[in-house]
Chain A
Amino acid sequence: MRIEKKILYGVALGVLFSITLAFDRPLAEGAKEQGVWVYFSEDAKHACRPHGPRRSESSFFLDELGALYVCVIWYDLAGTYVEQLAFILPDGNLYQVLTVPFTTPGASGPAEVEADGRLVEAQEGRWVGKGQTGVLTFLPVAGTYITQRSLVGTWRVDVSLNGRLIGQLPLTLKKRD
């Protein structure tokens, strides 16, 4: 049965967005509510801490950014899933997609998942709270074409789960004057 759920996801400064999500099937047996929070950080240590505080911003200076760490916290999932983060340039072109298969804490699941035409090892999602799974990944920035070509402006990050678009977030990369 197709289920629609109200989702909350948040970005910097405690701004909350509510969007309606649609899943082709229940994401978890007995799930009460599906949700996702997305944190951006320049710091891997603080992006996905259990119970926070998690550092989250939506605007970054390129020269201070080794990598952009993205922690996606999924609610009420159980099993193995594939998260995708698509980074869209300010001009609308697709810069890069990060595909992250993950298994929720304590769940048994396949060690490898087919994604993007290859088998990818599923990382074990982090326990970050009751019913919450944190999935941490990063976009390299320092020394990449982002810095080489000053790809600054307001990007868009599309968050998908199992191929279904969950939501879109703005992300600003800046260069110091």
Chain B
Amino acid sequence: MARQWKGVAVGRAALLWVTILWLALGVGGWLAPFSAEAASLKSLQSAVTAVPSSTAVAVTLSPSVDATKAFVVCSARTTSDNSNRRVTCVLSNTTLTIDGGTNVGATVSVSWYVAEFAGGVTVQRGTGAFAAGSTVPSPLPSLTAVDCTKSFVVLAGEQTNAANSTANDEQFTFRAILATTSGGTTPCTSGTSSNLTLTRSVGTNAATMAWQVVTYEGASVQRGIATITQAATTATAAISVVDTSKSFVLMSRMAGTAAAGIEGQYQTRAAFTSTTQLTFTRAAQNNIANRTVLLSWEVVSLSDGSTVQPGTTAGTGTHTTMATAGLTALDLTRTVTFFTASGGDATTATFLNETSWTVVLTTPSTSTITFTRGTSATLVSTASWFVVSFFKCAAVSDASFVTANGQSGQATVYWPSSTALIGRKTAAFVSTDVPVNGNTYAVSDAIGTATVVDNQSVAASSFNQTGLDTSGATTYSYKVFPKTTSATPTPVSCYAPGTAPGVEVKVTPKGGAGSPNWSYATGATTLVPPGLTDGGVVVSGSNDSKLHGMSASVGTQSFAPFVTGLAIQARPPVIPSSLSRTGLNIAYVTSQDGKVYAIDTAVGSPSVWTSAFLPGVGGVLQGGAAVWLQTIKTLPFPGKGFTTVPDMVVVGTNNLTDHLTNKVYGLHGGGASPGIMGQGGAIWTFSPVNMDIITSTPYIDYANNAIWVTSRSAGGTGQPSVWKLNASNGTLLGSLNLGDIDGSPSSSLDGSFIYVGTNAGDLKAINAIGAPGVVATHTPASGAGAIKGFPVPFSFSTPSGGTPDTIVFSRDATVHSVSFNGTSFGTNWTTTNFPSAPVASVSAPIDNFDGTNVYVGASDGKVHELVLSTGTDGKQVTIVPVTTTVGDPSFDITLGRVYVGAVDGHIYSFTSPF
């Protein structure tokens, strides 16, 4: 029976943001951008800040921002009617500086938004210093040329140190035009411009104003100038048709030279009156010369998924605030308000405090826009506003798994089907090696210090790369970033963060002598011996909680990993369809999540069945499952309601909270008739209340209709650690107190003896027939530690003096071969040097089924091929790159290969003999 393991395994079981490149080799040339990024909001900070004195307020931004991708929107209210109650807002990476000059006093509060974009936005900023007597700043603004069709001007306030006055506001009103010429007033409507024209109509006092020019991928900008003539309160401008749910208006204005500080004459608001027209409105006029308003306007239309809600709000009665409720639900993490306001009358110059507003948005009970001014009054002031919700990437989850196959010179990366960006490095990824939301990447683009090797625009689940270094000197790290791409007119890609453990896989596609046939990267350490199906699929659990399936011949993924709840640390028995009552090639997987999973290895998910949680609270399943196959020997289960008896899956629990409450379950293996428990349910449960943890795999004793189980025994010999159970009903047939046992039992191949290795390092031979008793004990003369895995028997004959059995086993760092003649053990050999020096640990052994070699994985990063007859460590293969601990190997008789996992999370295939 034990020789059928191959199948049955019974017991053996730059950042490319519109980048402009110049050729640098003397030929020179303009290269079109090879990739572009769309705008995606990264962060939004906002608050209302008081300016308590003449000292500038420095607001620390948390987190800091990249000011080249961020702009500030400020609005101020004041309790004073003096014209010098104005502030500038200037943004740096870490600070928002709000400055009102020397006379601002304690009368100004500022509502501000700082919108930072992940990409797709560049911001140039500066301050225009207007000297006394000058209507233009000196120096003129310095601007790197921008695309006029994608750029707009956001002014960020003004300030002056002028003395108190209510009658000179016009000195502190400014118009900004992105113009075709330096100092010109012809708006730039196509092409590029580096000319920002800032002007005021009266220049008596010095003043400073703050400006920002924002270039926004995905924006379409119209601009123009307009004049509200001296006898009018409105002006209009025709525009190309826009979608007002995606467009907003920016406006700057300078009051006429004779405005005399009368707010009603110069406070102006801008709004859409239709999809093709803007209207600019002031509160009053008295047809006096030089009381015009000179306007500059921009209509910004966003096609990147951003949305705009426009509106107008006016207060009634005596009020300090005015509000409009019922806005479509707002996401305040991405929403900024732009507004302009009018108010006053034709003659009064003391309404600055009644016509200057701050704004806040509230949500979620109702989305409301609320304006606040510094003074309670009956004066009506009207705000025209645009609530702009910028596009912001929704969270994209990291892949639930990333695996990879390596072969000589090539790698294949696998992930759950989705669109994804694949990055590659020849070193480990660092935190900055991530794609930027909003960016569009092409193959060979950089993401941090990694390189894009694939960018799937349609859902895919694998990526293959050939032509890789076969020398073994290069390890390729791949990281998969699933992405979503919005369906806006300008598609915007958003990426997973790539921070989940296991989403980075490494492949060293070494070729040539001593190289693995293939490797397969799982998401965490895997030291468990792999299993093999009759269909040529290697199946292996991993500490990444998944069961992996891969082609035995080349290691490519056979099925998407099946996900359990915790690590899988036991070899799953794989039953060929010809032997299974399920009619499937089926693997029975025990997981530390406390459940057994029956997996069809042709498809992986979903499971054929999943058991209940089997251990007690705080327990796990550590050991593997053993399977009673009815096609090998029929086993009745009286009283369980079966018309056709099912295969039975036997597992033991590992209840970590005590040394008494562990159990052994015989589970319905699936197929056949459901019985009274259904598939996966317990046919019987053995619960003796003196059973310590079980970390081993039970042994199916067909000859004696028994199940052998090993366990710990609370650190002593006061309770049993070897259990013989009736396979039909789970009742106890006998037990032995042999001290703690973590290893699994095995049998002489004739079925007459059971071999167990204790944690003390003793090998025991137990009579399998009748009441169990220890026939012989072997205490190794060298080595230390528990006997691992299970003792490997070799002889098919009944152990006797003439035909002694050979048993090979491992301890901490030694491999042992002993003989057993039916009554006593004898030492054959002990291997302590691998090959010339000790190692810290070795794995459980496996042989190649032809009586020549034994294989162990070791802590030197090698698989060792020992000569069975002598224990000589004749040959080794080394895993590249260097890893520390190599796991328990398995052997494929058909292909003559050793499969073995390692702490690096890979499963390797090597041809045998080495």
Contact = CB atoms under 8 A, between A and B. Distances in A.
A66 B524 contact: no
Contacts of B525: 89, 93-96, 145
Contacts of A118: 400, 563, 565
Contacts of B62: 2-4
Given A89-B525, A97-B501, A144 B622 contact: yes
Interface stretch (B170-178, B275-283, B311-319, B879-887): B879-887
Nearest to B431: A165
Given A22-B63, A144-B569, A94 B656 contact: no
Contact of B524 (A84, A97, A163): A97
A148 B742 contact: yes
B499 A94 contact: no
Given A2-B63, A117-B416, A138-B618, A96 B841 contact: no
Contacts of A97: 501-502, 524, 544-545
Contact of B563 (A94, A95, A117, A142): A117
A116 B742 CA distance: 30
Interface string A15-44: 000000010010000000000000000001
A138 to B, nearest CB: 7
A44 B658 CA distance: 11
Given A1-B45, A4-B63, A117-B416, A93 B400 contact: no
B524 A96 contact: yes
Interface in B65-93: none
Contact of B501 (A2, A94, A117, A142): A94
Interface residues of A, number: 39
A140 interface: yes
B116 to A, nearest CB: 10
A108 interface: no
Nearest to A147: B742
B580 interface: no
Contact of A138 (B527, B656, B786, B903): B656
Contacts of A2: 43, 62-63
Interface string B828-857: 000000000000110110000000000000
Interface in A43-63: 44
Contact of A165 (B63, B499, B742): B499
A98 interface: yes
A40 B884 CA distance: 26
Nearest to B659: A66
B63 A149 contact: no
Interface string B522-553: 01110110000000000000011100000000
Interface string A133-164: 00000101011110111110000001010011
Interface in B15-55: 43-45
Given A93-B904, A140-B592, A66 B693 contact: yes
A94 B524 CA distance: 5
B333 interface: yes
B416 A143 contact: no
A11 interface: no
B864 to A, nearest CB: 15
B622 A143 contact: yes
A139 B728 CA distance: 34
A150 B63 contact: no
A96 B564 CA distance: 13
Interface string A90-119: 010111111000000000000000001110
Contacts of A147: 742, 786
A84 B527 CA distance: 22
A128 interface: no
A93 B592 CA distance: 20
B401 interface: yes
Contacts of A164: 499
Given A84-B501, A93-B905, A144 B887 contact: no
A98 B620 CA distance: 13
A13 B177 CA distance: 66
A89 B499 contact: no
Contacts of A148: 527, 742, 786, 788, 841, 844
B427 to A, nearest CB: 13
A174 B217 CA distance: 57
A98 B788 CA distance: 26
A64 to B, nearest CB: 10
Contacts of B742: 142-143, 147-148
A169 interface: no
Given A2-B63, A67-B656, A117-B416, A143 B501 contact: no
Nearest to A165: B499
A86 interface: yes
Contacts of A138: 618, 656
A158 B400 CA distance: 18
A142 B622 CA distance: 9
A86 B502 CA distance: 10
B887 A145 contact: yes
B713 to A, nearest CB: 13
B695 interface: yes
B563 A116 contact: yes
B859 interface: yes
A173 to B, nearest CB: 13
Contact of A150 (B657, B712, B812): B812
B903 A91 contact: yes
Interface string B310-335: 00000000000000000000000100
Nearest to B623: A143
A71 B46 CA distance: 37
Contacts of B786: 147-148
A2 to B, nearest CB: 5
B590 interface: no
Contacts of B567: 96, 140
A116 B503 CA distance: 11
B843 A149 contact: yes
A76 to B, nearest CB: 17
Nearest to A164: B499
Interface string B873-909: 0000000000111010000000000000001110000
B499 A142 contact: no
A120 interface: yes
B497 interface: yes
A120 B545 CA distance: 13
B903 A143 contact: no
B774 interface: no
A89 B841 CA distance: 15
B499 A143 contact: no
A144 B903 contact: no
Interface in B487-540: 497, 499-502, 523-525, 527-528
Nearest to A97: B501
Nearest to B885: A149
Nearest to A118: B563
A89 B883 CA distance: 11
B859 A149 contact: yes
Nearest to A64: B715
Nearest to B785: A150
B604 to A, nearest CB: 12
23 contacts: A1-B45, A1-B333, A2-B43, A22-B63, A66-B693, A89-B525, A89-B884, A93-B884, A93-B903, A94-B523, A96-B566, A118-B400, A140-B620, A142-B695, A142-B712, A144-B622, A147-B786, A148-B742, A149-B527, A149-B843, A158-B501, A163-B500, A165-B499
Interface of A: 1-4, 22, 25, 44, 66-67, 84, 86, 89, 91, 93-98, 116-118, 120, 138, 140, 142-145, 147-151, 158, 160, 163-165
Nearest first, the 10 A-B pairs at minimum CB distance are: A117-B400, A143-B695, A96-B543, A143-B742, A145-B527, A67-B656, A91-B884, A93-B903, A97-B501, A95-B525
Given A2-B43, A117-B563, A147-B786, 18 more contacts: A1-B45, A1-B333, A66-B656, A91-B903, A93-B903, A95-B525, A96-B567, A116-B400, A117-B401, A118-B400, A118-B563, A140-B654, A140-B656, A142-B712, A143-B654, A143-B712, A144-B695, A147-B742
